[in-house]
Amino acid sequence: MTPFLWGAWTRILLLVGCLFIVPAGLPAHAQSPDSTPTMHILAFGDSLTAGYRLGPQKSFASRLEAALLQEGYDVRVTNAGISGDTTSAGRSRLAWSLEDTPHLVILELGANDALRGIDPAIIRDNLAAMIKACLATGSRVLLCGITPPGNFGPQYARTFSAMYEELAEQFTIPLYPAFLKDILGNPRLTLDDGLHPNPQGVDKMVANILPQVTSLLDDIMSESVHSLEHDRPD
């Protein structure tokens, strides 16, 4: 082989070799061990979470995920809402939803209990059990309050509303006081039943709750970084 051809092949081999060089200790296309994982949010609730009559892409979970991605968060939101669910039904199925150990659980249940006039003591016991189960897996919880209907009297409404505040204080978890804030009573933001949000209503729900969710995600990511730094060998 002539010196010219030998030199050309040498340059080609060096160039190809450079394409496969990766930082020491890291496989190609892999994340650094110090990088935070994709955040997983479990939206656990009833028809208000599920997206009643809206379709999956217009549900609260889907719209929340889209809003968080737009804000720059690496996140996925699982829609674990089932229309008609009471707190008793939610309690019975929660363990399966927690198997993936979400970073954050948005817990929204109680509306169907209130519509049926179920004893607030029973509702509270179910919610408390679900909160305990979430915390036991290491998941953070954002408890969402529900505005009760007035057809069971003012005393029922007061006891029902206070229940969410008391649970948040008992377990030292954040409370989003009214999941349907600005939605109820606004025909432009609800379906023809006057109760469930339409697509515009869902977007309003997401816009209202977004600051609290992003604040929690920031806290979780900060804790994750500190944990990685603490566990890193000297």
Token pair belonging to 157: 């409404």
Q: How many CB atoms lie within 10 A of CB 173?
A: 18
Side-chain-facing half-sphere of 86: CA atoms under 13 Å: 16
Q: Is residue 103 flagged as an active site residue? A: no
Tokens 């025909």, located at residue: 187
Q: Which of 46, 47, 59, 113 is catalytic?
A: 47
Q: Is residue 32 flagged as an active site residue? A: no
**CB-based contact 143:174 (threshold 8 Å):** yes
DSSP for 180-217, written as a single string? TTTTTT-TTSB-TTSSSB-HHHHHHHHHHHHHHHHHHH
Question: Which segments of 60-203 are extended strands (E)?
Answer: 75-81, 104-108, 140-144, 175-176
Q: Which of 46, 85, 103, 196 is catalytic?
A: 196
Q: Is residue 192 flagged as an active site residue? A: no
The three-class DSSP label of residue 136 is helix
**CB-based contact 68:5 (threshold 8 Å):** no
Q: Which of 192, 193, 231, 234 is catalytic?
A: 193
Annotated catalytic residues are 47, 193, 196
